[in-house]
Chain A
Amino acid sequence: MTRKILRNVGVPILSFVLLLLVWQWVVVGFHVASYIAPRPRQAFLAVTQNWSALWPLILGTIRETVYGFFVGAALGLGLGVIMAKVPVLQRIVYPVLVLSQAVPIIALAAPLVLILGFSVTPKVVIVAWIVFFPVTVNVLDGLTHVDKDLLNLARVYGASRWRTFIHIEIPATATPLFSGLKIGATYAVTGAIIGELAASDGASLALYQEHANANLNTAAVYGTTMVMTAIGITWFLLVVGVEVFATPWQRRTVARRWRRR
């Protein structure tokens, strides 16, 4: 158990430290000018010293990421289920969904601002636009590959379609669903930042970075990137955490004590 924790937590931390070391080594070793790339410490300080200004912007980005993720996840799940259940709809809707992903997301931002203005909404839409697709594809795939014999068994018992869906098809799709959610989680923050770049009139993390860049404050530029990445990673880890909690059978041989039905 301790070994497992060490491997699952220790190794990623180690590779992160390694990354910082490489960064440090490249900047120092190649005498990179500080306006091109700061040392990790400088980038880190650029964040902590301006924390009070950054924190509300971070919260804003988190809000866009999380709202967009939930909208996208719900939409993705819904579309996946509907397409799996109504094959005709699948043939009609699926090409449109693929098309939606071919649209360069940055080109989508401008019309969204025209339609929705500078509020939080266009950012949420962009995040959802990115997140729903892997969820839909995975859910659709999961639902269409549920063991036919298992579905027949439910029929033999006289189960209704609804109960079969709830007790067989949905749990059988848990693994692909979480795969889709994890892919979506990694991209969600990217969507939020693109949205902020294209559709911010006031303060936002993306504009803060642009501002720092315009002022040749390279440390802040790198620092902001680190913050954005941290938001993405944190959200991804939270989704992984939910998966671990929601699918105990993938790791355990015996159910938890308090888990009744």
Chain B
Amino acid sequence: MTLLELRDVAKTFGDTIALSPTSLAIAEGSFVAIVGPSGCGKSTMFNVIAGLLTPDGGDVLVKGERVNGTTGHVGYMLQKDLLVPWRTVEDNITMAKRLTGRVSAADREEARAVARQYGLGDFLRHYPTALSGGMRQRVAFMRTLVTHQTLLLLDEPFGALDAQTRLEMQQWLLQVWRDTGRTVLFITHDVDESIFLSDRVIVMSPRPGRVVADFANPLPRPRTVDTLIEPAFIDLKTKVMRLLHREDA
């Protein structure tokens, strides 16, 4: 079943075509990676889907409903964790509820359960400044999870982490995704990351921002570090790299 659909969605800033008319359908429960260099319109596309930007043309549909320029229908996470320093880990996880209604005892219990399940149970009463970058991103992701949105938009969430931590976080994300069955749209400029995580790799290109390829990812799950050296991985990586490189030439 299609959860998210873009129909000829376009966005222009002044003379710059940030996103030329783009159509896309994302199946519920899938993990789709969007890879491309900076300026290819991937973040613009995200902000249009999230409702922060209104498209100049076309429609954004979530579960068949037109949501152009409205918010409240996605979970959303950026490279910046955006944890607020004045709230504890537990209170950061429940932030969405606090901003839209009342944080109930059940919400708090859920936050604690999620944190315990994913290894942050001992840090519930800590302020975010006490946490490492990887831990902060995990808290940010938990905050996104408890919004109970089926569609999660992740914009380079691990971009600021060191390679070791990033690999751990990627495996952790796959585990959470498997546990919760959400639909993930994952932006990255790291080709390895896009292939390692996804069911499907969408390649975008700048000037004007557009989709240039849409690959099904044949790699079996679960994925491990060994996945990174499988022939199918290398094969897909080669295709994506050629597309990205052609643009540079």
Given A253-B126, A253-B127, A254-B127; A159-B84 close (CB under 8 Å): no
From B9-17, B98-106, B192-200, give the one contacting chain A. Answer: B98-106
Q: Could you tell me how many residues of chain A have their Cβ less than 8 Å away from some Cβ of chain B?
A: 26
> Judging by beta carbons under 8 Å apart, are B127 and A156 in contact?
no
Specify which of A153, A171, A174, A253 is in contact with B82 (CB 8 Å cutoff): A153
Given A147-B82, A149-B82, A249-B85; A157-B96 close (CB under 8 Å): yes
- In the complex, chain B residues whose CB is within 8 Å of the CB of A240: none
In this complex, the member of B51, B74, B126, B127 whose beta carbon has the largest number of chain A beta carbons within 10 angstroms is B127
Alpha-carbon distance between A155 and B51 when the two chains are bound, in angstroms: 9
Q: Is the CB of A48 closer than 8 A to any CB of chain B? A: no
> Judging by beta carbons under 8 Å apart, are B71 and A255 in contact?
no
Which residues of chain B (36-80) have a CB below 8 Å from chain A?
Answer: 47, 50-52, 71-72, 74, 76, 78, 80
Given A168-B84, A174-B86, A254-B126; A153-B76 close (CB under 8 Å): yes
> Judging by beta carbons under 8 Å apart, are B82 and A157 in contact?
no
Which residues of chain B (7-29) have a CB below 8 Å from chain A?
Answer: none
Q: For the complex formed, measure the closest distance between the CB of B22 and the CB atoms of chain A, giving whole angstroms.
A: 20
Q: How many B residues touch the partner, as a band?
A: 20 to 34
> Judging by beta carbons under 8 Å apart, are A156 and B76 in contact?
yes
Q: For the complex formed, measure the closest distance between the CB of B77 and the CB atoms of chain A, giving whole angstroms.
A: 9
Q: For the complex formed, measure the closest distance between the CB of A177 and the CB atoms of chain B, giving whole angstroms.
A: 12
Alpha-carbon distance between A153 and B71 when the two chains are bound, in angstroms: 10
Q: For the complex formed, measure the closest distance between the CB of A251 and the CB atoms of chain B, giving whole angstroms.
A: 10
> Judging by beta carbons under 8 Å apart, are A156 and B50 in contact?
yes
Q: For the complex formed, measure the closest distance between the CB of B103 and the CB atoms of chain A, giving whole angstroms.
A: 7
> Judging by beta carbons under 8 Å apart, are A255 and B88 in contact?
yes
Q: For the complex formed, measure the closest distance between the CB of B105 and the CB atoms of chain A, giving whole angstroms.
A: 11
Q: Is the CB of B242 closer than 8 A to any CB of chain A? A: no
Q: Is the CB of A152 closer than 8 A to any CB of chain B? A: yes
> Judging by beta carbons under 8 Å apart, are B74 and A159 in contact?
no
Which residues of chain A (234-261) have a CB below 8 Å from chain B?
Answer: 247, 249, 252-255, 261
Residues on B lying within 8 angstroms of A by beta carbon are: 47, 50-52, 71-72, 74, 76, 78, 80, 82, 84-88, 91, 95-96, 98-100, 103, 125-127, 129-130, 147
Residues on A lying within 8 angstroms of B by beta carbon are: 147, 149-150, 152-160, 163-164, 167-168, 171-172, 174, 247, 249, 252-255, 261
